[in-house]
Structure 1
Amino acid sequence: MHDPKLWRALLLLAVALAGCTVGPNFAPPAAILPPVWQGTTPVQATTDARWWRSFDDPVLDALEARAGSTNLDIAAAIERITAARIERGQARAAGAPQLELQAGYNRERIGTAGIASVTQTLLGLTPTTTPPKGVDFDLYSVGVGASWEIDLWGGHRRQAEAAQASVEATEAVARAVRLSVEAEVARTYFQLRGLWDERRIAQDGVALAENNASIARVLLARGLATPIDLAAIDEKLRALHGDIVELDHQAATTQRALAILVGGTPDTARFDRTTLRPQSPLPAAAVRVPSEVARTRPDIVEAEARLHAATAQIGVAQADFYPKISLTGLFDIDVLNLADFGWNARSTSIGPSLSLPIFSGGRLQRQLDLRRSEERTAALAYRQTVLNAWREVDDALSASRADADRTSLFDRDLASRNRTVAMVEARYARGDIAAAPLLDARQAALSAELAVVRQRVAAALANVQLHRALGG
């Protein structure tokens, strides 16, 4: 084993065989998506991942920034990426040469009298006339051991490939978590603003109801109304106060949810609502081409990476059918006395070892069959993910368009109601009509304004969902 020519031949053979990698090579599948989304005009994807900036709301921008840096779900997803990268490092290290340093001290005793008498001379001990029942001696050892399994068939390389794909899948999951948190922050923020607007409208409704109650009391005093009329108005007034209490409760609950989303505590100080500026008109979402959605939507990227990992695992299973060659070496020094420690006390061992599976009861074949089944399952999961993405984008587009149309209708209705209020106020100012028709017109305008507020919240949420469906 010390022939240099033999070692060179072994190394050349190892290098030649190391280029062989069994198992199928992964080819990214084609995402079955439509050429365009429902006849929309596609645009190139923006390089800015901060999709929420299209709403042009500084408060929302600040909330999203806080959530990105302090949200606990995002932090946990990032930690899972760290764990996946560690596992990838372990997979890569499995195919590298291993080197171990060993050192030890043992107090030995040979207890059989016959053997002890023989070993006295071997151990350098002074013989005695009486055969000993045992011999005690010290043994000091220092050594270095090395081993390397030559990756002839690419099993370790396939394992590292699978680990890399798992890292990519974990990173995609983290992006999905981040996108989900970003969308939830935007949704919760718009819902909170809607609740505040509803409370303002409800408070205006209370003022109108109180005016109606005052008029009813005057009419009752003049005999022009009945106590039943006044009781009905008072009942409506109590209902409006109850609505305000419920809106305050919903707003407080929504504020606490928003505080948790941005990494705070439920009692984190809220932002000042007086600093809020009127909500800008909703922008038209930039609908990216389907091929870009397939490359950027986190769940599709994750499904492709899972398929890649499953494909690589087939190669790992196939490599177990082939011979394994390992190079091992050992250098150690064993002495009975520290004074004898030196180069002449060395022991060495070096050479290759070969292992070939002969019979495993079908375990290796079953393992390969299992890996192939897992690869087929991953391929089906990828196809299902793409189809779900297609459906979600189409649903989000339909919802966004419908909400935009409804918002336009409600805005026109509110404008019409406001014009009616202006005309009725002019007639009331001239003394042509009593106050009751004016109050009724104002109440109708408030109802229209409430419908507009709720519809704008719905449109904002549909816009957020469209961004989420498109992958940000």
Structure 2
Amino acid sequence: MTMRNTKLLATPALILALTACNMAPKYVRPELPVPETTAAAGLAGPGEGAAGTVMTVSAETAWHDFFVDPRLTRVLQMALDNNRDLRIALANVEQARAQYRVQRADLLPTVGVTGSAAYQDQPFAGSTGGAVSGRTDTYSASAGVSAWEIDLFGRIRNLSSAAQQEFFASVENRNAAQTALIAEVATAWLTMAADQERLRIAHDLEQAFGQTLELTRARFAKGIASELEVRQAQTSYDQARADIAASTTRVAQDRNALDLLAGTALTASDLPSGFPETDVTLDELPAELPSELLLNRPDIVAAEHRLRAANANIGAARAAFFPRISLTAALGSMSLGLSNLFGSGSDYWTVTPSADLTIFDFGRNTGNLRYSRATYDAMVATYEKSVQSGFREVADALARRATMADELEAQVSLRDAARSAYRLSDARFRAGVDGFLVTLDSQRTVYSAEQSLIAARLNRATNMVEIYRAIGGGLN
């Protein structure tokens, strides 16, 4: 290869070394528009939960370590493997990755190879004065680049950076979808467990109300009880029957919801038969969380990536005010015979640089720049709102948790007291000491207390799931 060809090949590398100008503003992360810590102020001491226990579990605990019930973890894994919404989110990531690769490719020249042959037969004057036919065959082969934009002012690099940040945002959107899916599946599973427990209680009380109804009818037949007491006993019994039908429907709907979330039909061994006696999640998380922890939430990370993309787009809009310099170059060989195509003296090269600068665009570039700046301002506000929303979600969940232990303890005590009152009133009724209304009222109080206790246990369990989701969850 000749020296001039070597210099030609080195030209693009020299140009690349000169493309160091970047018109994008220096990115600075906005200050967090929230307090330094999230805590249920006045409800729990530093480092203590509602019950006064030291909380040590990291907020980055992986989901398969946070959820400790084996049936629930199996359902969660099936959802991660089969849920269609999560598959859509993953496909969106691949789309963004491909778009980034397409945009990044503009930074480098596209090298092409061409080959051609031309056959020409035309008459010319012979030595005797007559016309003679002659044929000329021309062959050529070349490799080169066509209209490669030399990114002196960073327009293409900023567009590539923006596409990369959008790709990163799509990854975080997928992570946010996974975190939301885990929380939704866990909540649906716990809801089904609570409805199964309500169904069991309804069956138990139906039996108790049925015994009371039979006893009241027998007393009415002997003239001891009135028809009013029979009708009152009948209403409680029928209410229990109606609750059984409603709870059965809810359990079936809960099963359908879990099947949809899991993306497959679940087996009975994966489903709860009642509310678990032990916790299905780890029960210890920090009572106070630094606000910087919110920066790990996938939705907030995605918002910052979109903010970075908007910042890069400002640089691309600024670069549009400067000339666009492009280069077309080719290196090849040409000869009149195919056998001599790559012979000595047949090589050639061409270099055609060009510059394009818009003089009058009637405000197009200015409008694009203003649009990019306005988009950046909107992304700043979006990012700050995401942080504020995340802070509130965590603070609300912690505030709810701070009083939940006392509420649950009160509901247990209320249920136990209602059971004791029912046993005493039933015994006094059977002994003829008290009237039927006292027993009927005690039965209804027990039923209400059992339902309230289930609701309190469900709230406590789902509160831990909400805290886990609010702080961003674990994705390992």
Q: TM-score range by the shorter chain?
A: 0.7 to 0.9
Give CA deviations for 1:223-279 in whole Å, capped at 9, x if unaligned.
1223343233223322321211111111101111111111214x7666354597523
- DSSP-derived class of the 2:328 partner: strand
- Relative distance call for 1:367 and 1:451 in structure 2 (3 A) is same
Structure 2 distance, partners of 1:99, 1:288, is 58
- 1:382 equivalent in alignment to 2:383: yes
Q: What does residue 87 of structure 1 align with? A: 99
Distance 1:45 1:368, change over 3 A: farther
SS of match in other structure, 1:143: strand
Structure 1 residues 92, 208: CA separation in 2 closer, same or farther (over 3 Å shift)? same
2-structure distance, mates of 1:44, 1:209: 47
| Residue 334 of structure 1, CA deviation | 6.1
One-letter amino acid of the counterpart of residue 271, structure 1: D
Q: Distance in 2 between matches of 1:149 and 1:378?
A: 30
Q: Which residue of 2 aligns with 1:68?
A: 80
Compared CA separation, residues 360 and 281, structure 1 to 2 (3 A): closer
Residue 349 of structure 2 is matched in structure 1 by 348
2:81 and 2:452 mapped to 1: Cα distance?
A: 36
Which residues of 2 match residues 285-364 of structure 1 at below 5 A? 285-287=285-287, 289-332=289-332, 341-343=341-343, 347-364=348-365
Change (3 A) 1:66 1:125: farther
**SS of the residue aligned with 2:349?**
strand
Aligned residues: 457
Closer/same/farther in 2, CA of residues 326 and 402 from structure 1, 3 Å limit: same
SS at match of 1:409: helix
Q: CA deviation at 1:173?
A: 0.9
Report the Cα distance in structure 2 between the residues aligned to 1:165 and 1:57, rounded to whole angstroms. Answer: 38
In the aligned structure 1, how far is the partner of 2:254 from the partner of 2:6? Answer: 78
The one-letter amino acid paired with 1:85 is R
Aligned mates of 1:264, 1:273 — CA distance in 2: 17
The TM-score normalised by the length of structure 2 is: 0.82
Match of 2:151 in 1: 151
How many Å separate the matches in 1 of 2:140 and 2:288?
A: 68
Counterpart position of 2:415: 414
Query: Taking CA–CA contacts closer than 8 Å with sequence separation of 6 or more, which of the two structures ends up with the larger relative contact order?
Result: 2
Go from structure 1 to structure 2 and tell me whether the alpha carbon gap of 1:37 and 1:464 turns closer, same or farther (over 3 Å shift): same
CA distance in 2, matches of 1:239, 1:410: 23
- Once the two structures are aligned, what percentage of the paired residues are identical? 26
- TM-superposed deviation, 1:25: 1.9
The 8 Å contact of residues 294 and 471 in structure 2, kept in 1 or not, is answered as: no
Give the SS at the match of 2:350: strand
Do the aligned partners of 1:45 and 1:292 also contact (CA within 8 Å) in 2?
no
Distance 1:239 1:408, change over 3 A: same
Separation in structure 2 between the aligned mates of residue 136 and residue 435 of structure 1, nearest angstrom: 126
Tell me the residue number matched to 2:270. 271
Cα pair distance change 1:226/1:412, threshold 3 Å? closer
Shifted more, 155-164 versus 354-363: the winner is 354-363
- Indicate if the aligned counterparts of 1:333 and 1:345 stay in contact, CA closer than 8 A: yes
Q: Which deviates the most, 231-240 or 271-280?
A: 271-280
Deviates more, 1:232-241 or 1:251-260: 232-241
Q: Rate the CA distance shift 1:77–1:106 in 2: closer, same or farther, 3 A.
A: farther
Query: Is this contact kept in 2: 1:120–1:127, CA < 8 A?
Result: no
What is the identity, as a one-letter code, of the residue corresponding to 1:70? N
Aligned-residue offset at 1:323: 2.5
1:177–1:272 Cα change, 3 Å: closer
**Which residue in the other structure is 1:199 paired with?**
199
Provide the rounded CA distance (Å) in 2 between the counterparts of 1:169 and 1:196: 40
After TM superposition, give the deviation of residue 309 of structure 1 in Å: 0.3
Superposed displacement of residue 362, structure 1? 2.2
Deviation at 1:417, TM superposition (A): 2.6
1:393 aligns with 2:390: no
| DSSP-derived class of the 1:37 partner | strand
Separation in 2, partners of 1:5, 1:94 = 24
Aligned to 1:113: none
Secondary structure of 1:289's partner? strand
Q: What is the deviation of 1:301?
A: 1.0
Evaluate the alpha carbon distance shift between residue 6 and residue 258 of structure 1 in structure 2; reply closer, same or farther with a 3 A threshold.
closer
Q: Contact (CA 8 Å) 1:67, 1:261: kept in 2 or not? A: yes
**Cα distance in 2, alignment partners of residues 377 and 236 from structure 1:** 59
- Which residues in structure 2 correspond to 1:105-116 (within 5 Å)? none
Distance 1:180 1:236, change over 3 A: same
- Bigger shift: residues 273-282 or 255-264: 273-282
What is the alpha-carbon distance in structure 1 between the residues aligned to residue 80 and residue 419 of structure 2?
42
Q: State the AA in 2 paired with 1:450.
A: Q
Change (3 A) 1:152 1:287: farther
Q: C-alpha distance in 1, partners of 2:427/2:138? A: 113
Aligned partners of 1:260, 1:274: CA distance in 2, in Å?
19
**Alpha-carbon distance in structure 2 between the residues aligned to 1:280 and 1:9:** 68
Query: For residue 261 of structure 1, what is the aligned residue in structure 2?
Result: 261
Amino acid at match of 1:221: A
Q: In structure 1, how many angstroms separate the alpha carbons of the residues matched to 2:279 and 2:101?
A: 49
Deviation at residue 102 of structure 1 after TM alignment: 2.3
- The answer to whether the Cα contact below 8 Å between 2:56 and 2:285 also exists between their aligned partners in 1 is no
Between 209-218 and 455-464, report the one with greater CA deviation: 455-464
The alpha-carbon distance between structure 1 residues 137 and 219, as it changes in their structure 2 partners (threshold 3 A), is: farther
The one-letter amino acid of 2:233's match is: I
What is the match of residue 58 of structure 1?
70
Q: Secondary structure at the match of 2:381?
A: helix
Q: Secondary structure at the match of 2:270?
A: coil
Per-residue displacement from partner, 1:35-55 (whole Å, max 9, x unpaired)? 222336367872754347445
